Amino acid sequence: MGWSSWERFRCTVDCQRFPDECISDRLFRLTADLLVSEGYAEAGYKYVIIDDCWLSKKRDSKERLQPDPERFPHGMKQLACYIHSKGLKFGIYENCGRTCEGYPESKDHLQLDAQTFADWGVDYVKLDGCFVDINILDRVYPAFGYYLNQTGRPMVYSCSWPYYYMRKGLKTDFKKVSKHCNLWRNYHEIEDSWKRLQEIINWFGENHYKIGKHAGPGHWNDPDMLIIGNYGLSLEQSKTQMAVWAILAAPLIMSNDLCAVSPELKDILLNEEIIAINQDVLGIQGKRVKKEQGISVWVRPITPVRYSHSYAVAFTSNRDYGVPYTYSVGLKEIGLKNRAGYTFKDLYGDEEFILHPHENLTVRINPSGVVFYKASVLV
């Protein structure tokens, strides 16, 4: 859980014109401050992740990576100290080849770069794969992971490895990926739109059988950043992203302007019960179990387990008619078979009720919205 600069701030490097938005020491200090003061850190969002465009165009005299001297005048070590002093963790971005925005590449300096990051106090590294021969990824990703471990500093390792395979229509060896990486992006990157979010959600719905089993504590499929609080999603759509990310056991990495998140969207990002589902200790990735009439049903096994699992159950909608849609499904049909039944708690409302396996769960789902329950097993 954390925050990344990419989706919201991209490669804004003109600090003169856009002082509050450029990829700079100031932005990440401010974000660290806000993560704490606005309650995000307490809710679990700990990582402040600098994405592309932080680098100087040249390595230093000892071939080490260095940040752009104007935008990061105090260097990365001091920035890491500041972030750590807030009780937060520090994440950074590099690329096998030239970064997607054209900054220095890592593939010929893997050991040095891993050590540089460790020296700076980095806690999380995202390694991207723009502009390189796809055939080297199978060598570079494991090698960099190896060097990260060699430093002796624990660093979370985020890989874009499977994405570049997917993009070329090639199969990813997820067993291998999950051995070397802690999280990995599987599909196209998110944009600030419901359209792209729908595409991502749909892809994860369709491909569970390929990727689901590789998720577990310490190893996560990554559908990409939370765009809640940006420009493209309605309130309903924001609720949908948060619910599906919880079902998918997805990393919760916001990318937004923490100064500008409206209170009702902040409530979604800070929803304790939903975060608890996302972070459930079992680490089982949920899946889409039904899709019909424009409605998808998602189920994730979670704790508490008493003989059988509890479940998170979400209903999402691709319908865009203005009226909420009534949908009904039998509990058994979606795999909820515990004889004593379940207590259902509406995670975006107050409702609470008990249902048994032979009964139907009937919901009304708003257009592009979601209904999201925690179903706790009864004994």
Q: Which residues bind its own copies (CB under 8 A)?
A: 6-10, 12, 17, 21, 191-196, 227, 230-237, 255, 262, 264, 320-323, 326, 366-369
CA-based nearest residue to 251, from 362, 150, 147, 157:
157
Contact 313, 375 (CB under 8 A): yes
The Cα–Cα gap between 166 and 175 comes to: 15
Structure tokens at 234: 């309605």
The Cα–Cα gap between 150 and 154 comes to: 10
Question: Least distance from C-beta 323 to its own copies, angstroms?
Answer: 5
Helix (H) or strand (E) holding 198: helix 194-206
Using the minimum distance from each CB to its own copies, give the nearer residue, 68 or 123.
68
Using the minimum distance from each CB to its own copies, give the nearer residue, 7 or 113.
7
Using the minimum distance from each CB to its own copies, give the nearer residue, 77 or 364.
364
SS3 label, residue 89: strand
Using the minimum distance from each CB to its own copies, give the nearer residue, 238 or 376.
238
Within 10 Å of residue 328's Cβ, how many Cβ atoms?
8
Question: Least distance from C-beta 17 to its own copies, angstroms?
Answer: 8
337-374 core/surface letters (b: 16 or more CB in 10 A; e: else): ebeebbebbebbeeeeeebebeeebebebbbbbbbbbb
CA within 13 Å, CB half, 283: 13
The Cα–Cα gap between 49 and 252 comes to: 12
Using the minimum distance from each CB to its own copies, give the nearer residue, 12 or 78.
12
Using the minimum distance from each CB to its own copies, give the nearer residue, 31 or 310.
31
Question: Least distance from C-beta 351 to its own copies, angstroms?
Answer: 16
Question: Least distance from C-beta 372 to its own copies, angstroms?
Answer: 15
Within 10 Å of residue 14's Cβ, how many Cβ atoms?
11
Question: Least distance from C-beta 312 to its own copies, angstroms?
Answer: 22
Question: Least distance from C-beta 307 to its own copies, angstroms?
Answer: 36
Structure tokens at 201: 């959600």
The Cα–Cα gap between 280 and 199 comes to: 25
Helix (H) or strand (E) holding 244: helix 235-247
What residue spans of 250-293 are helical by DSSP H?
263-269, 272-278
Question: Least distance from C-beta 190 to its own copies, angstroms?
Answer: 9
Using the minimum distance from each CB to its own copies, give the nearer residue, 8 or 185.
8
Question: Least distance from C-beta 2 to its own copies, angstroms?
Answer: 17
The Cα–Cα gap between 80 and 48 comes to: 9
Question: Least distance from C-beta 202 to its own copies, angstroms?
Answer: 14
The Cα–Cα gap between 236 and 174 comes to: 33
Task: Tell whether the torsion through CA atoms of 184, 278, 375 and 325 is positive or negative.
Answer: negative
Using the minimum distance from each CB to its own copies, give the nearer residue, 11 or 48.
11
CA-based nearest residue to 2, from 94, 103, 126, 105:
126
CA-based nearest residue to 228, from 187, 261, 251, 198:
261
Using the minimum distance from each CB to its own copies, give the nearer residue, 262 or 293.
262
Using the minimum distance from each CB to its own copies, give the nearer residue, 23 or 114.
23
Question: Least distance from C-beta 302 to its own copies, angstroms?
Answer: 28
